[in-house]
Chains A and B, each alone.
Chain A
């Protein structure tokens, strides 16, 4: 019975999401370091571990973003392979979880499951998979398979993929083997494999998922251990929690089975005023004049460099035939005119220049916690008290020193309030997150 009723843990945890490629990471400040050198990653992950962070996330790149038909020049471009980097970081850390964002479309299930098992074993049970999907042929142009997935099939494909991976991870007869054969014959792929690796210290890699549509939420409620949500604001977070608890219970899992860690950004200082000033500085470096114009260009489908970033939105209409692939997902031209009209009206209403308008659209407005260390700590303690979230996934806006403030000042404040761990609970990610031991997946009867 009680499994159906959500119990707040009274704690929050932190993860760091090193996205690598976005406009959120400031590269223009003198203290910005390399986005690819190992030292940047080592510095960040070791700082996070000093601050008892639960997990270190890496994004994944499958094709470089483009702008008006060429690689996008303005924001950070280029990043290492997630699992390769995390395997290296496993060697210089001992407790922090290592989460690889990996695409379920452009990987093979048996190969991906094997590599995640490897990372899990190499790291002593600290690996996790942040499951994402892609469906566009533009990304597929870099892969043998090409683009082959209908949008509607995305979650069906991803779910079959995840279930196959779980069966591979659960295939051991005893913790050290041998493994039983795993077969899957599906619409998109066929797998026939006898897995090679034993159970890890945390049974199998932890699963993170970020889908927010109703299908995405159901998928996460059925399959994921942690949802990487887009709802950090208190009221939204509480509402999202309620929804996920309902979906988890409906899926036959406990009310606490799925944890929630929203994406977030922190801008902190000794006083609220200093933090506000810092925020203006951060935003000005995240969205410079060129980024503001480029952002509009991807929707307008044409060059807008003659427009003043501090002036009003362009009165000229978008090119409707063009499709921008800047974000890698494809913005369809048919809606461009409508969107432009809407945006012009909105900017005029609020009296926003191009730059201010783009900042309002692109900065993690809802996801940003700005304030003094004590004020933000008080605010986060409230999340912990009601169990609005299990933690926050922090995207640092500076590399590699972007966690220093948080670890040096915010974490101790939270620890004083008794809402943040002072030590790691264990050595595996599953233990440190306080996740339930996974139920070993059953083999379907049709398996020989």
Chain B
């Protein structure tokens, strides 16, 4: 073990897609009490999968500490709606919301909304534009815009509301668009929700690194993850948090992981197959390299049970797992300071 002053404490996120929409409350509460710091919700066109943002919203009021972070597509969706929905998610979760930005590559998603398929580098342009719209709209109300001044009869101070006047850049591939603003909802509780995206979507010529707060890093095998983290860190700089993606199949309920992992689908993520003890060691080392790890359990109930019983307690004992922050925000978890408002007209409430 490394010396205690060198030891970093990271966070763990768990992907809850396996809970569906019927066992959501049970699953997210189990994840919270196991000590997970964030629950993520995959989206995309899979039969039986309900909208991720709504599943996250449902999870919000049932929990108290765990961050709720849905994937939301940026290509075939309305940026104005996304921004409002995510801001609302922040309200219903008490400031624990985040956004995993995705850029749908699926021709089916395009056909569903009657658009032609967006491909290649254009995907990142769509994502970058949506993030920019979202962030500008979140800032379009200053924190103290609602004044409720009975004497003058003014509910808001209109000087603290701002048009965002977003226009897609001239080199935007595909149909450009504009968004006027301001947002329909006051600034989210966190000011700016943390924005996460796959590392492959972020960088020069893609989504600018300063547009996101964290990247999700994948590698073909668990052994290659640490090296990939170092590469991404070198490429994107230190200001972006790094979250490692890991599929997990554990020995559980008297069955060896290897025999349970037989027909696993191809996810493009590293897959750990083995015992809780071996996973603990792997996570321990990954948490030294990264800011956090997102686990994708093979069978939610089974893995979550094993993780909460045998993995998280040991990681906590070793000091490599962050203690949950009572009533903390997702920004707190990622170590982000207060979000400055780009439109702020006064110094109060802004600044780090």
The distance in angstroms between the C-alpha atoms of A118 and B54, with both chains bound, is: 7
Q: B185 near A190 (CB under 8 angstroms)?
A: no
Q: A63 near B180 (CB under 8 angstroms)?
A: yes
What is the chain B residue whose CB lies nearest that of A70? B158
B142-169: CB near A (< 8 Å → 1, else 0) gives 0000101010111111100100000000
Q: A36 near B94 (CB under 8 angstroms)?
A: no
What is the chain A residue whose CB lies nearest that of B28? A91
Q: Closest CB-CB distance, A174 to chain B, in whole Å? A: 13
Q: A88 near B112 (CB under 8 angstroms)?
A: no
The distance in angstroms between the C-alpha atoms of A118 and B186, with both chains bound, is: 26
Q: Provide the residues of chain A in CB contact with B181, threshold 8 Å.
A: 142
Q: A84 near B46 (CB under 8 angstroms)?
A: no
Q: Which of B180-227 contact A (CB under 8 A)?
A: 180-186
Q: Closest CB-CB distance, A122 to chain B, in whole Å? A: 5
A216 at interface by CB-CB < 8 Å:
no
Q: Which of B115-132 contact A (CB under 8 A)?
A: none
Q: B77 near A111 (CB under 8 angstroms)?
A: yes
B85 at interface by CB-CB < 8 Å:
yes
What is the chain B residue whose CB lies nearest that of A78? B186
Q: Which of B48, B92, B155 contacts A77 (CB 8 A)?
A: B155
The distance in angstroms between the C-alpha atoms of A83 and B84, with both chains bound, is: 11
Q: Indicate whether A38 sits within 8 Å of B179 (C-beta atoms), given known contacts A74-B155, A122-B55, A178-B47.
A: no
Q: Closest CB-CB distance, B100 to chain A, in whole Å? A: 16
Q: Which of A36, A78, A122, A289 contacts B50 (CB 8 A)?
A: A122
A48 at interface by CB-CB < 8 Å:
no
Q: Closest CB-CB distance, B327 to chain A, in whole Å? A: 14
A24 at interface by CB-CB < 8 Å:
no
A148 at interface by CB-CB < 8 Å:
no
Q: Provide the residues of chain A in CB contact with B113, threshold 8 Å.
A: 108, 110-111, 189, 191
What is the chain A residue whose CB lies nearest that of B162? A71
Q: Which of B88, B92, B111, B182 contacts A192 (CB 8 A)?
A: B111
Q: B155 near A88 (CB under 8 angstroms)?
A: no
Q: Which of B22, B78, B85, B148 contacts A106 (CB 8 A)?
A: B78
Q: Provide the residues of chain A in CB contact with B141, threshold 8 Å.
A: 78
Q: A79 near B112 (CB under 8 angstroms)?
A: no
A42 at interface by CB-CB < 8 Å:
yes
B316 at interface by CB-CB < 8 Å:
no
Q: Which of A38, A42, A64, A91 contacts B161 (CB 8 A)?
A: A64
B34 at interface by CB-CB < 8 Å:
no
A280 at interface by CB-CB < 8 Å:
no
Q: Which of A168-205 contact B (CB under 8 A)?
A: 177-179, 189-194, 196-198
A290 at interface by CB-CB < 8 Å:
yes
Q: Provide the residues of chain B in CB contact with A64, threshold 8 Å.
A: 161, 182, 184
Q: A85 near B146 (CB under 8 angstroms)?
A: no
Q: B185 near A143 (CB under 8 angstroms)?
A: no
Q: Closest CB-CB distance, B154 to chain A, in whole Å? A: 5
Q: Provide the residues of chain B in CB contact with A296, threshold 8 Å.
A: none
Give the most central of B54, B108, B181, B186: most A CB within 10 Å.
Answer: B54
The distance in angstroms between the C-alpha atoms of A62 and B80, with both chains bound, is: 8
The distance in angstroms between the C-alpha atoms of A190 and B110, with both chains bound, is: 10
Q: Closest CB-CB distance, A56 to chain B, in whole Å? A: 14
The distance in angstroms between the C-alpha atoms of A89 and B84, with both chains bound, is: 17
Q: Closest CB-CB distance, A395 to chain B, in whole Å? A: 17
Q: Provide the residues of chain B in CB contact with A143, threshold 8 Å.
A: 78, 80, 177, 179
Q: Which of A108-134 contact B (CB under 8 A)?
A: 108, 110-111, 114-115, 117-119, 121-122
The distance in angstroms between the C-alpha atoms of A289 and B153, with both chains bound, is: 8
A335 at interface by CB-CB < 8 Å:
no
What is the chain B residue whose CB lies nearest that of A188? B114
The distance in angstroms between the C-alpha atoms of A80 and B97, with both chains bound, is: 14
Q: A291 near B61 (CB under 8 angstroms)?
A: no
The distance in angstroms between the C-alpha atoms of A91 and B78, with both chains bound, is: 26
Q: Could you count the A-B residue pairs with CB atoms below 8 Å apart for me: how many are there?
A: 185
A4 at interface by CB-CB < 8 Å:
no
Q: Which of A27, A177, A191 contacts B48 (CB 8 A)?
A: A177
The distance in angstroms between the C-alpha atoms of A42 and B93, with both chains bound, is: 12
Q: Closest CB-CB distance, B150 to chain A, in whole Å? A: 5
Q: Provide the residues of chain B in CB contact with A88, threshold 8 Å.
A: 57-58, 60-61, 92-93
Q: Provide the residues of chain B in CB contact with A321, threshold 8 Å.
A: none
Q: A189 near B114 (CB under 8 angstroms)?
A: yes
Q: B78 near A38 (CB under 8 angstroms)?
A: no
Q: Which of B47, B48, B58, B180 contacts A141 (CB 8 A)?
A: B180
Q: B58 near A146 (CB under 8 angstroms)?
A: no
Q: Closest CB-CB distance, A195 to chain B, in whole Å? A: 9
A301-336: CB near B (< 8 Å → 1, else 0) gives 000000000000000000000000000000000000
The distance in angstroms between the C-alpha atoms of A338 and B155, with both chains bound, is: 32
Q: Closest CB-CB distance, B42 to chain A, in whole Å? A: 13
Q: Provide the residues of chain B in CB contact with A62, threshold 8 Å.
A: 80, 184
B288 at interface by CB-CB < 8 Å:
no
Q: A80 near B88 (CB under 8 angstroms)?
A: yes
Q: A142 near B47 (CB under 8 angstroms)?
A: no
Q: A191 near B57 (CB under 8 angstroms)?
A: no
Q: B153 near A78 (CB under 8 angstroms)?
A: no
Q: Provide the residues of chain B in CB contact with A10, threshold 8 Å.
A: none
Q: Closest CB-CB distance, B96 to chain A, in whole Å? A: 11
Q: Closest CB-CB distance, A346 to chain B, in whole Å? A: 25
The distance in angstroms between the C-alpha atoms of A172 and B150, with both chains bound, is: 54
Q: Closest CB-CB distance, A65 to chain B, in whole Å? A: 10
Q: Provide the residues of chain A in CB contact with B318, threshold 8 Å.
A: none
Q: Which of A56-96 contact B (CB under 8 A)?
A: 61-64, 70-71, 73-81, 83-85, 87-92
Q: Which of B252-286 contact A (CB under 8 A)?
A: none
Q: Which of B1-32 contact A (CB under 8 A)?
A: 21-22, 24-25
Q: B21 near A118 (CB under 8 angstroms)?
A: yes
Q: A84 near B85 (CB under 8 angstroms)?
A: yes
Q: Indicate whether A42 sits within 8 Å of B61 (C-beta atoms), given known contacts A190-B114, A196-B47.
A: yes
Q: Closest CB-CB distance, B108 to chain A, in whole Å? A: 7
Q: Provide the residues of chain A in CB contact with B25, threshold 8 Å.
A: 91
Q: B179 near A142 (CB under 8 angstroms)?
A: yes
The distance in angstroms between the C-alpha atoms of A27 and B147, with both chains bound, is: 11
Give the most central of B47, B51, B111, B161: most A CB within 10 Å.
Answer: B51
B65-108: CB near A (< 8 Å → 1, else 0) gives 00000000000111111001101110111100000000000001
Give the most central of B45, B48, B185: most A CB within 10 Å.
Answer: B185
Q: Provide the residues of chain B in CB contact with A179, threshold 8 Å.
A: 47
Listed by A's residue number, 17 A-B pairs whose Cβ atoms lie within 8 Å are A64-B184, A73-B157, A74-B155, A78-B156, A80-B91, A81-B87, A84-B88, A88-B61, A106-B81, A108-B112, A108-B113, A122-B54, A141-B178, A143-B179, A179-B47, A192-B112, A197-B49
Given A74-B154, A107-B78, A110-B112, 4 more A-B residue pairs with CB atoms under 8 Å apart are A80-B87, A81-B85, A85-B57, A142-B80
Across chains A and B, which 6 residue pairs bring their CB atoms closest together, nearest first? A290-B153, A190-B114, A88-B92, A61-B184, A118-B51, A118-B50
